Structure 1
Amino acid sequence: MVDRTPHANPAQLYANAEHEYRTWHETVINDPDYPVLHLAPPVGRLNDPNGLFYDKGIYHAFYQYAPTHPEHQVFWRHATSTDLLHWQDDKSAIDPVDWYDKRGCYSGSAFIAPDGTYEFYYTGNVKDENEVRSSYQCLVTSDDECETFVKQHDVNPLIMSQPEGYTAHFRDPKVWEEDGKYYALLGAQHDDLTGAILKYSSDDRRNWTFDGEITFDKPFEQHMGYMWECPAVARMTDTATGQVRDVLIFSPQGMDAAGNRFANLYQCGYVVGELNGTHFTLDSEFIELDAGFEFYAPQPFYNIEGENGEITIGAWCGLSDQDMHPSWENHWLHCLTLPRIFTLTNGRIVQRPADQINDELTLNATEFIDGEVAAIKDQRVFRVSGTVDVSNGPVSLELHDQAGKTMYVTFAEKSVVMDRSGNRYLAAGKTRTADLSAKAERTFDLIVDSSVVEIFIDGGETTFTARCYFNDDSRTLKFTNEFSQDASSQVSDLKFAALQK
């Protein structure tokens, strides 16, 4: 029997959330580790991006929000931006107070109805007194451009339970329209504790039919874990071949490391091929999206489509079960990545930061002084790009504070290594390595925003995302060779930008 008892004390839930905000918000936003250009919570814990969309000149981002962390009460929080870089915190949009979501409003997506109403599809999480989970797929709407949000109690839950053969780890609806019909992908887990993606269809976005599990024409080379989260599919034109291909993005939990790949606790990546109904014909193996430490649950923005089907995505710069960050001393955790543009080229995703970064951090030629990039000195938010000659050996880009070498990125002919051994957060590891095709030169575009580092290598063929907590306010950057000698002569086309204070 379904327990239709709502949250026991919503008033106390709201009061606790408001108390945390009033007590800690000023401390949070004045923390030197708090990013300027990355969306971060006003207090408490942020995780997956949800309901990303664009309409009428405004970018909307929602995210999983736990204001009373470590208490697990998960809301959807709303923020807006006109440029994908400066975000205005709004309010909590979906609250975990009803019988079908009282243990958390989990991830989902946005859709704009034909009449202009904003629709938000999400997973309601419920656990009984024995911690047995139930998952419900639900709907919230806004007919006033996100001034108010209304749960559609007359139709919720849209999907009452998972199909037979799957556990209650059944979540993260991603809804889209194609040829006049509506579809949804959901992450799932088989009864045998392996991951899956399920597809549903609807004529009215209220009544949903289970079409089946996404199947593949051949097995994956590696073990794909015990749960697949946050699925999305995008139809893109390969800029090199002209072929139209489907790109299926998802986040498997429980994958084993394969050499230097899949080194994080949880993974995210994609496959390229063709989706027909529920069958996916593979052109590729599962490809990791980011070689760094913190990158998970990427979601495309709805209602943004660039040339050749380019998509703009936001991702979580964090991972579940890795909350021991220094920022919690000031009562906030995690942020989103900078929005990125994905392009399909030669069967692989190539990434770049959203183009608006070029207006905010406009790169200009700079030079070395005594072996250092002098313009960077003590900047909190900055960007550096260039070309590194690695034909005579590896070259390291080193970020220093007064305590010493905080983080460095080593470019070599067949690899790139990120090492953050000198920063204040090591719980998720010190180093990550990407094994690459041989090149005599490597290009890079490095963005540092307080405690967030993103680097795009070789035009975005490889990326690393990481949290890097500096030890003080000092910042210097230099290049060294494998003998710790000055290697500035091996760097060309050096450019720099800093956020104007």
Structure 2
Amino acid sequence: MTNEKVYHKIKEDLDSYYQNKDSNIWRNKSHIEMPFGLVNDPNGLSYYNGKYHIFYQWNPFGCEHKTKHWGLVKTADFVNFSKPEIILKPEDWFDKNGCYSGGAYVKGDTLKLFYTGNVKDENNNRESYQCIVDYHKDGSFKKKGPVIPKQPEGYTAHFRDPMIFVQDGTYYMILGVQRDNLTGAALIYKSDDIEKWEFLGELKTDKENFGFMWECPNLVKVSKDKYALLFSPQGLEAEEFKNQNIYQSGYMIGELDLNNVELKKHTEFKELDMGFDFYAPQVFTHDGQNIMIGWVGMPDKDSEYPSAQNGGWMFPLTLPRVLEYKNDVLYQKPLEKLENLRETKIVDIKDKVENNYEIKLDNRNVEIKLNLNIEQNNCINLKFKFNDEYISLTYDKLSEVCTIDRNNMELGGRGIRKFKLKAEKSLDLHMFIDNSVMEIYYEYGLETTTFMYFPKSDDFKIEIQSDNNININKLCIWNLRGVRYE
């Protein structure tokens, strides 16, 4: 079958999927995911031509990390989306083994896409090319090939994930890289015209030996004089309350000095999400808000996601989150447009005292806002129950530790995640639950956990338990409508 016929068949399969109902109980309704194949990093996030453009890594041919393409969906409201389409294909000499991650920048009427072309020879030796694409309002685009053909001396070919930002009228690019001594770093380039790039140097930080690779770096302006460096370091040592996943995603905030290529006076690295499944987030700015979307997944853990065998698909993207800077911390909150997903409010409780509270829900596509008075409680436990399986969320006020426990689930990843959380008089939780994804915001976005789960049953109950009476300040639950692809 020719390439043209292969991609025509993919389009036909997409059209057929959206004309029929998917009965798979793990198929998510409000999260972006593909009908088939493997999705990972969000790419090229941007607001262009009146719509949010969400590109993403996609292997449409199977559930393996191979043949990476760039897919695209567009939306104005995060309810109605364009049907997925393939934009970038690994079919040129400079990207023949994969169109890897990168960002986008709106320049005039053109959306400039930047990505890493991955090339391997017969001995599996890697070359990485930083490439540019002109994407136009009518959906047409032109690959223009490499603008940075090779990594600088002193670095391996693990050199990828270009992101663009502007300061004082000059374009800058940040990339993740591995040094020859097998430690991770980020590099900075600059350009006057966004086409020709000059190497400035390695971004200096206090993290000289911080993992073996830094993936997907972003430099985001968060205040008048502060930038956040978001990145996904690989190879950090696990601690009791930190770095519990195989790889991390987090940030440091400091003063960006591009003359000296340095992030000065920066904070310690803080993880962006304390759940099991969050990686490679990307940030773009629209209407003065820094908006982040991440990948709900984790590299090198494919056996933990049974949807590949039972459904032929792997991984969604997170719902969009707004980053708000306060006291050298990035708080996260759901993008306000996500309220468009609310269909029916099914629970609205205020100031209720219960010995034990349980509610049965008719579906697993809901938004929940819960605020508990915990002045008389030392321990709060939420159980998400699926017949004889459950996931528990426990908050211990005395030790200030929150625990997510998936060990009572049979399928998919299991394990425990613990993190520190300070809540005194009340505990505030904001949850988005989908058929196989949970995103939970704690204490108004001070912490979040994102993770996948794969229940055997459609039966769904939520139970709240405590060592004392449960004082519900507020509980609101909405059924959410599924997103539509048209």
Matched, 1:334 2:315: yes
Amino acid at match of 2:268: E
Distance in structure 2 (CA, Å) of the matches to 1:9 and 1:190: 40
Amino acid at match of 1:313: M
Aligned-pair distance for 1:12? 7.2
Q: Larger deviation: 378-387 or 334-343?
A: 378-387
Q: Quote the residue 1:349 is aligned against.
A: 330
Amino acid at match of 1:397: L
Q: Quote the residue 2:281 is aligned against.
A: 298
Q: Quote the residue 2:98 is aligned against.
A: 104
Aligned-pair distance for 1:229? 0.6
CA gap 1:73/1:365 in 2 versus in 1, 3 angstroms: same
Residues 104-153 of structure 1, C-alpha deviations (whole Å, 9 max, x = no match):
00001111112x111100000000000000000111112234x222212x
CA gap 1:408/1:229 in 2 versus in 1, 3 angstroms: same
Amino acid at match of 1:166: Y
Structure 2 portions without partners, runs of 5+: none
CA contact (8 A) 1:271 1:286 kept: yes
Aligned-pair distance for 1:19? 8.2
Distance in structure 2 (CA, Å) of the matches to 1:475 and 1:78: 33
Q: Quote the residue 1:271 is aligned against.
A: 252
- Of the candidates 144, 147, 156, which is equivalent to residue 167 of structure 1? 156
Q: Quote the residue 2:362 is aligned against.
A: 378
Aligned-pair distance for 1:317? 0.6
Distance in structure 2 (CA, Å) of the matches to 1:416 and 1:289: 15
Q: Quote the residue 2:140 is aligned against.
A: 148
Distance in structure 1 (CA, Å) of the matches to 2:279 and 2:200: 27
Amino acid at match of 2:447: T
Structure 1 portions without partners, runs of 5+: 1-7, 238-242
Aligned-pair distance for 1:178? 2.2
Higher normalized strand content (fraction of residues): 2
Amino acid at match of 2:254: G
CA gap 1:245/1:29 in 2 versus in 1, 3 angstroms: farther
- Of the candidates 56, 68, 75, which is equivalent to residue 63 of structure 1? 56
Distance in structure 2 (CA, Å) of the matches to 1:441 and 1:412: 12
CA contact (8 A) 1:479 1:488 kept: no
Aligned-pair distance for 1:25? 7.3
Pairs within 5 Å for 1:355-374? 355-361=336-342, 365-366=348-349, 371-374=356-359
Amino acid at match of 1:384: I
Distance in structure 1 (CA, Å) of the matches to 2:273 and 2:113: 28
SS of residue in 2 equivalent to 1:366: strand
Matched, 1:464 2:449: yes
Matched, 1:257 2:242: no
SS of residue in 2 equivalent to 1:244: coil
Matched, 1:54 2:47: yes
TM-score by length of 2: 0.90
CA contact (8 A) 1:20 1:68 kept: no
CA contact (8 A) 1:28 1:331 kept: no
Aligned-pair distance for 1:371? 4.2
SS of residue in 1 equivalent to 2:78: coil
- Number of residue pairs aligned between Structure 1 and Structure 2: 470
Looking at both structures, which has the greater relative contact order when contacts are Cα pairs under 8 Å and sequence separation is at least 6? Answer: 2
Aligned-pair distance for 1:26? 7.3
Amino acid at match of 2:444: G
Aligned-pair distance for 1:95? 0.4
Distance in structure 2 (CA, Å) of the matches to 1:62 and 1:86: 16
CA contact (8 A) 1:28 1:34 kept: no
Distance in structure 1 (CA, Å) of the matches to 2:169 and 2:470: 58
SS of residue in 1 equivalent to 2:393: strand
Distance in structure 2 (CA, Å) of the matches to 1:167 and 1:16: 38
Pairs within 5 Å for 1:395-410? 395-404=380-389, 406-410=390-394
CA contact (8 A) 1:28 1:42 kept: no
Distance in structure 2 (CA, Å) of the matches to 1:384 and 1:339: 17
Q: Larger deviation: 116-125 or 175-184?
A: 175-184
Distance in structure 2 (CA, Å) of the matches to 1:113 and 1:99: 27
Pairs within 5 Å for 1:318-329? 318-324=297-303, 325-328=305-308, 329=310
Distance in structure 2 (CA, Å) of the matches to 1:92 and 1:37: 21
Q: In percent, how many aligned pairs have the same letter?
A: 33
Distance in structure 2 (CA, Å) of the matches to 1:39 and 1:430: 25
Q: Quote the residue 1:130 is aligned against.
A: 123
Aligned-pair distance for 1:205? 1.3
Pairs within 5 Å for 1:215-226? 215-216=204-205, 218-219=206-207, 224-226=210-212
CA contact (8 A) 2:357 2:465 kept: no
- Of the candidates 14, 29, 32, which is equivalent to residue 25 of structure 2? 32
Amino acid at match of 1:215: K
Aligned-pair distance for 1:499? 2.0
TM-score by length of 1: 0.88
Pairs within 5 Å for 1:163-202? 163-202=152-191
Matched, 1:229 2:215: yes
CA gap 1:105/1:80 in 2 versus in 1, 3 angstroms: same
Aligned-pair distance for 1:320? 1.2
